[in-house]
Structure 1
Amino acid sequence: MTSMLEVPDTTVTRTPRRSTPPPWLAVALACAGQFLVVLDISVVNVALPSMRAGLGLSGQGLQWVVNAYAIAFAGFMLLGGRAGDLYGRKRMFLLGLGLFTLASLVGGLAQDGWQLLLARAVQGLGAAVLAPSTLTIVTSAVSEGAARARAIATWTAVGAGGGAAGGFVGGALTDTLSWRWVLLINVPIGVVLLAGAAWWLAEGRAGDGRRLDLPGALLVTAGLGTLAYGISQTEAEGWTATPTLVPLLAGLALIALFLLVEARAKAPLMPLGLFRVRSVSSANAAMFLSGAAMFSMWFFMTLYAQNVLGYTPLAAGFALVPSSLAVVVGSKVAPRLMRLAGARAVAVLGTFVAMTGFAWQSTMTADGTYLTAIMFPGILMMLGGGLAGTPLAALATSGAAPEEAGLVSGLINTSRTMGGSLGLAVLSTIAATRMGGSTTPEALTEGYALSFRTGAVVLAAGMVLMWLWLPRRATAAR
């Protein structure tokens, strides 16, 4: 009897290799992560009264439900971007998304106010690690040129749509389920994205394996966090009160110390020479001014719709749907216009359209109709924001070296978020001063209208800066 062992088996078993995913899949995963990050900046706003009743939060505690996320998000952004450069964009995407998802679960199940605030801060930390990786994944998955411009436009539109959808999603979940679901909804979405990213995303590490600049990271995080805390105090305490001035001055001092440390560091978190690149410095300054006005739009529009016109949270969310669609349209049209007129011209055009919408919105009245008091000016504001955001993001990332891509991505997000935080604090103070403590519809309308007029002035200043400073077109990376 012949044994089968006598026949040598020369077959070599090979482990199936995973095929390289198509670029659109990497872009889709990155955009979904960015959507979650931006959505959670605004989604809790309409749920705040329910959170206060459910957990017995004080007025100050209620304010920190929003601020804990925003401060951690802005403060850790540069660290998250640099970590992606040094340790891998996929790894940081998974780490940030994992933290974000876990914190959403803890926050949704919170039984005490401090648990919710801690969860929101961890959410912000996860978002700061996740957000820079989303843009670098997009830019590394798609080749330079028209295809990359379209991919960045999609990323911008999805991110803007997340912010736009926050009020609607939060209102719908709060009205139909409970406030807890504005956080719990992130859990199943996050799990699906984690599985997809772990399987499909390719690792990309542009750095050289150096350690993170921990002193710089701690200083910039503490500086931005302290400065943001001071900004958050302005609405309640005013700009000249000690509780406002002390953190503002301390934050500025920490940021100055950060710059001194970075200038002497051998491997700085943020190479200061990066700002000698015109596209990087000018686009970030423009994004800061744009964010200062645009971030406040949803806040004041929602308050006007509910506090003056009497809309429910869900109705207010529906009222802003046309604006949400407009920002997506603007972001998708921008690449085509960029090919014809250049990035600078499109950024200026978009800012002009947004400024026109702000000026129109500033004519609001206490008995305004939906079409002229919310829909049409809202469409102009968000259409302009979509048109301007794409070229600014493209310009900010085009002049940086590949090993600095994550840093530049984090910087552009930080500029927008910190501009938004400062702008909202300033505009809220201006509105509150005009209201003079009155809560009548007429007084509220006057305060909101003044905030929109001020926003129009900020956008006008941004438009001049863009025309004089921005390079005409995006250039290839160094």
Structure 2
Amino acid sequence: MNLHRTQSGRLPPAPRPAAALTVLAAAQFTVMLATSIVNVALPQIRAGVGLSDGGTTWVVNAYGLAFGALLLAGGRAADLLGRRRVLIAGLVLFAAASMAAGLAAAPNALIAARVVQGLGAAAIAPAALALAMDLYPPGPGRGRVLGVWGAVSGAGGAGGVLLGGGLTQAWGWPWIFHSVALGAVLVLAAVAALVPRTVSRAAGRFDLLGTATVTLALTCLVWGLTTARGAGWTDGRVLGALGAAATLLAAFAVIELRRPNALIPPRLFTTGRVTAGNLLMALLGSVWIALFFFLPLYQQQVLGSSPLATGAGQLPLAAANMLGSTLAPRISRRAGATATVTAALLTEAAGLLWLSRISADGSYLADVLGPSVLVGLGLGIAFVQLTALAVDGLPPQDAGLAGGLVNTTRQVGGAIGLAALATLAGSVTARSSTHEPHLAALTAGYRAAFTVSAAVLAATALLAVLLIRCTSPRTATATATGTALAPAPAPAQPS
């Protein structure tokens, strides 16, 4: 396809932008699917591969950590090497690693495959988002793109639980990985056929030192938090890992300030509300992934649901999430971005607080269904609004990096949140098991995790009010996405 630049330097719209957007959204859906599809099957994976308690958590964390730690590198690579090219390479790597995970017969092999799977996802997500934003000119179309992105991201998380449950029950846990591999291959073929080639690339060189430093720092951080669950917070390995993470993150900050081609250039934070958006997204992510970890465990281990029934139980949450993502632009038009973000976070917090009342002799209808709908609605609306906030005011040449940054903050926040909440839940369960039955002790741990998650989101809602009101007004990208980011709750454009 022969494409020419417009006077603004951007590529003209694709001949079939709706078809291309569908394919790119499918790529994002596949990435999010791989985050949650293992959750329902964790007991079967643990028995089949011989995982320890810590190793079971790493089946989730290995993917999330590699994904989050390398998303910045993936976004920068997409800007420098070409977004379509990086997307295709990421899909190939993702599919191969998914197949390897399904064939793994030992813990180390499975966790290594999940790391490589996360590496592929780190190339896919920012490239796909940047390509999707390029499909539509500034205006309401950009807001619809973000709405679609929010819907498929939430649907991928909940849909992964459903698909994981069905496949595990029907054919066994390896098929959760084989199915993801097949999906990635189908998306790859569709990308090659329907997503137009791009010719614009950013100038500069890749920051290898910065990438290596931040990746190692995040690895030490999450490893320390995960190890603390079994070894305790005063264990020398835990303290050493957390100290190394702090040192490496400080070194990364110094490196980035001095390098002309920094992985996270300072210019990223000089326009719009990038810092506020990414900080709030990290806090949202800290409870997002943990929710899809603890809720299926409660349904299976306490309520006794089958993997398929557990997955089906996530459908109301997924439907509510998609509804929230669709309604976010309309709500923002009427209430303003500040009120919309705050209300969405508080709605999700209310749902999690409701979940904190689960009991060992409860039921799905009484303990899970209602709060799942509240959580899904709040999550969908908050995701769309915070994504728009995180790309506010950035120039087009940084689109891939911006997509990588907002995905990084969500995934790293999720990995850290899961490690911390799993440690908390495990500690509460261990204390409760001395005087309560096993199922009651498990439930006590899950209740503690949901309670802290609700508190985190309530604090995030308060922080959102302060940050959005105190940062500069919206700039070009906010207008381009059609999202009103002005401090006052005045009528706004669709997000």
- Output the TM-score relative to the length of structure 1: 0.92
Partner residue of 1:385? 379
Does 1:341 pair with 2:341?
A: no
Structure 2: distance between partners of 1:161 and 1:476: 30
Partner residue of 2:490? none
| Alignment counterpart, residue 444 of structure 2, candidates 446, 470, 475 | 446
SS of the residue corresponding to residue 454 of structure 1 reads: helix
Partner residue of 2:453? 455
Structure 2: distance between partners of 1:159 and 1:354: 16
Kindly indicate whether the alpha-carbon contact (under 8 Å) linking 2:40 and 2:311 is maintained by their aligned counterparts in 1. no
Instruction: Measure how far apart 1:237 and its partner are.
Output: 2.1
Partner residue of 1:419? 413
Instruction: Measure how far apart 1:40 and its partner are.
Output: 0.8
> Alpha carbons of 1:58 and 1:250: their partners in 2 closer, same or farther (altered >3 Å)?
same
Which consecutive residues of structure 1, in runs of 5 or more, have no partner in the other structure? 1-14
- Report the residue type matching 2:302 in the other structure: V
Higher relative CO (Cα under 8 Å, sequence separation at least 6) belongs to 2
Instruction: Measure how far apart 1:246 and its partner are.
Output: 1.3
- Report the residue type matching 1:445 in the other structure: T
| Alignment counterpart, residue 369 of structure 2, candidates 349, 369, 375 | 375
Instruction: Measure how far apart 1:203 and its partner are.
Output: 3.0
Which consecutive residues of structure 2, in runs of 5 or more, have no partner in the other structure? 5-12, 479-495
Query: How does 1:106-255 map onto structure 2 within 5 Å?
Result: 106-204=100-198, 206-255=200-249
Kindly indicate whether the alpha-carbon contact (under 8 Å) linking 1:44 and 1:66 is maintained by their aligned counterparts in 2. yes
SS of the residue corresponding to residue 185 of structure 1 reads: helix
Q: Which moved more, 1:192-201 or 1:463-472?
A: 463-472
Partner residue of 1:323? 317
Q: Which moved more, 1:132-141 or 1:208-217?
A: 208-217
Instruction: Measure how far apart 1:383 and its partner are.
Output: 0.8
> Alpha carbons of 1:75 and 1:340: their partners in 2 closer, same or farther (altered >3 Å)?
same
Instruction: Measure how far apart 1:92 and its partner are.
Output: 0.9
Instruction: Measure how far apart 1:440 and its partner are.
Output: 2.1
> Alpha carbons of 1:208 and 1:293: their partners in 2 closer, same or farther (altered >3 Å)?
closer
Aligned-residue CA RMSD (Å): 2.2
SS of the residue corresponding to residue 95 of structure 2 reads: helix
SS of the residue corresponding to residue 391 of structure 2 reads: helix
> Alpha carbons of 1:82 and 1:349: their partners in 2 closer, same or farther (altered >3 Å)?
same
Does 1:364 pair with 2:362?
A: no
Does 1:475 pair with 2:475?
A: yes
Partner residue of 1:7? none
Alignment length, in residue pairs?
Answer: 464
Partner residue of 2:487? none
Q: Which moved more, 1:95-104 or 1:20-29?
A: 20-29
Query: How does 1:30-45 map onto structure 2 within 5 Å?
Result: 30-45=24-39
Does 1:25 pair with 2:24?
A: no
Instruction: Measure how far apart 1:151 and its partner are.
Output: 1.4
SS of the residue corresponding to residue 359 of structure 2 reads: coil
Point out 4+ residue stretches in structure 1 off by more than 4 angstroms. 15-19, 471-474
> Alpha carbons of 1:450 and 1:64: their partners in 2 closer, same or farther (altered >3 Å)?
closer
Kindly indicate whether the alpha-carbon contact (under 8 Å) linking 1:309 and 1:366 is maintained by their aligned counterparts in 2. yes
Structure 1: distance between partners of 2:426 and 2:444: 10
Once the two structures are superposed, residues 295-334 of structure 1 have per-residue CA deviations (whole angstroms, 9 ceiling, x without a partner) of: 2222221122122212122211112211111111101110
- Report the residue type matching 2:318 in the other structure: S
- Report the residue type matching 1:421 in the other structure: A
Structure 2: distance between partners of 1:366 and 1:135: 42
- Report the residue type matching 1:468 in the other structure: L
Between the two proteins, what is the percent identity of the paired residues? 40
| CA radius of gyration, larger in | 1
Does 1:287 pair with 2:281?
A: yes
Kindly indicate whether the alpha-carbon contact (under 8 Å) linking 1:206 and 1:402 is maintained by their aligned counterparts in 2. no
Partner residue of 1:430? 424
- Report the residue type matching 2:247 in the other structure: A
